[in-house]
Amino acid sequence: MSSITLVEAVNLALARAMEDDPRVVILGEDVGANGGVFRATVGLLGRFGAERVVDTPLAEGLIAGMAIGMAAEGLRPVAEFQFAGFAYAALDQVLNHAGRLRHRTQGRLACPMVMRTPCGAGIRAPEHHSESPEAIFAHVPGIRVVYPSSPRRAYGLLLAAIADPDPVVFLEPSRLYRLFKEEVADDGEPLPLDTAFLLRPGTDLTLVAWGAMTHEALAAANELAAEDVFAEVIDLATLKPLDLDTILGSVAKTRRCVVVSEAPRTCSFASEVSANVSEQGLMSLLAPVERVTAWDTVTPMSRLESRYMPDKRRIVAAAHKVMQYH
């Protein structure tokens, strides 16, 4: 067991999957000799060769469509999109084919593929590099959307995503790529998909977050604890399909819920969580479900990103608001 960063955990999981399953291939821009712009695929070309670590021409629609063809023909492609803002070109293929192929052929062909992309703000990246597109992908039927928040979960969830028989969009918070290290055992053990993780138990309110926002939520929970307000923190990890039971179980206990998302507010995944908790948890709730989100603005360039993303301060303020209800 060694202490590694999230991006190293992604690399470790990719290497493990390629070692264990000859059907696994990696494709994307600069994933070969360069090891990916964030170094997520570093060393894989040397270990597994250029046929399985495929540097593609610069065309995101091609990468997505090609992964679909590979998957339907029996490979297990893991496609990298360099930045979330560039993954939108792949959306056409994800919507019209990846999410539909199994259904429209009634199980004859399937798409066991993973589309990885770094996403989210907080690393002072250029324009179009900092979006958090989870809600856009989560709207697509037939796929899974996974958003890990730690090295250990990145490792276990990526292995699960690669082994899954259906397409998975795997969103990697670039802000967490090198933020901290964690002990990760390279044991090839996947973590369960479709399952939320309890990060911190609490009694007074439930903080629901995913990706980089789990760390803002944990920081807020720390600060609230100093005021004797105990927040339970849940990391959704898989957004689609949503593990509503875990959230509702928590809300039944805490009776208050705050959902945090770094994407724009309108039609955000926070809205989806809020709607479900309001619909099905009404009898538990003492307070309206609060959403803490980014603004309904264009994701700003780096100078304003700290004013765009939700932070500990805004989450604490939302917690104070729901704590006013008894």
Partner 1 sequence: MTVVARFEVRYTQYLDSQGRVVRPVPEFARDPRALVPDYGAMVLMRALDSKAIAMQRTGQMGTYASTLGKEAIDAGVGAVLAKDDVVLPSYRESGILFLRGVSPHRVFLYWGGDERGNVFPESPRDFPFCVPIAMQVPHAVGVAYAMKLRREPRVALAVLGDGATSKGDFYEGLNAAGVWKLPLVALVVNNQYAISMPRSRQSAAGTLAQKGIAAGVACEQLDGNDAIAVRDAVGRALERARSGEGPTLLEALTYRLSDHTTADDASRYRKPEELAEAWKREPIVRLRDWLAANGAWSKEQEEALHRECAERVQAAVKAYLETPQPGPAQMFRHLYARLPDAYAWQRDEACAPEPVPERHVEHHAG
Known catalytic residues are 129
According to CB under 8 A, which residues from 226 to 285 bind partner 1? Answer: 241-244
- Options 54-62, 287-295, 297-305, 306-314: segment touching partner 1 (CB under 8 A): 54-62
In the complex, least distance from residue 263 CB atom to partner 1, rounded to whole angstroms: 20
Q: Does 301 bind partner 1 (CB under 8 A)?
A: no
The residue within the footprint of partner 1, chosen from 39, 52, 139, 265 (CB under 8 A), is 52
CB atoms within 10 A of CB 297: 10
- Taking the CA atoms of 297, 142, 83 and 243 in sequence, report the sign of the dihedral they define: positive
Q: Does 214 bind partner 1 (CB under 8 A)?
A: no
Which phi-psi region, left, alpha or beta, contains residue 194 (left: φ > 0; alpha: ψ -120 to 50)? left
Q: Please give the Cα distance from 125 to 305 (Å, whole number).
A: 10
Give how far Cα 168 sits from Cα of 21, 73, 79, 107, 200, Å. Answer: 18, 17, 10, 17, 27
The residue within the footprint of partner 1, chosen from 33, 109, 298, 317 (CB under 8 A), is 109
Q: Please give the Cα distance from 119 to 128 (Å, whole number).
A: 10
Q: Does 65 bind partner 1 (CB under 8 A)?
A: yes
CA dihedral 20, 165, 8, 183 (to 10 degrees): -80
Nearer to partner 1, 61 or 288 (CB): 61
In the complex, least distance from residue 52 CB atom to partner 1, rounded to whole angstroms: 8
CB atoms within 10 A of CB 306: 12
The residue within the footprint of partner 1, chosen from 4, 17, 53, 71 (CB under 8 A), is 71
* 53: nearest Cα among 86, 74, 29: 29
According to CB under 8 A, which residues from 12 to 31 bind partner 1? Answer: 25
In the complex, least distance from residue 195 CB atom to partner 1, rounded to whole angstroms: 10
List of residues contacting partner 1 (CB under 8 A):
25, 51-52, 54, 56-57, 59, 61-62, 64-75, 77, 92-93, 96-97, 101-110, 141-142, 165-166, 194, 241-244
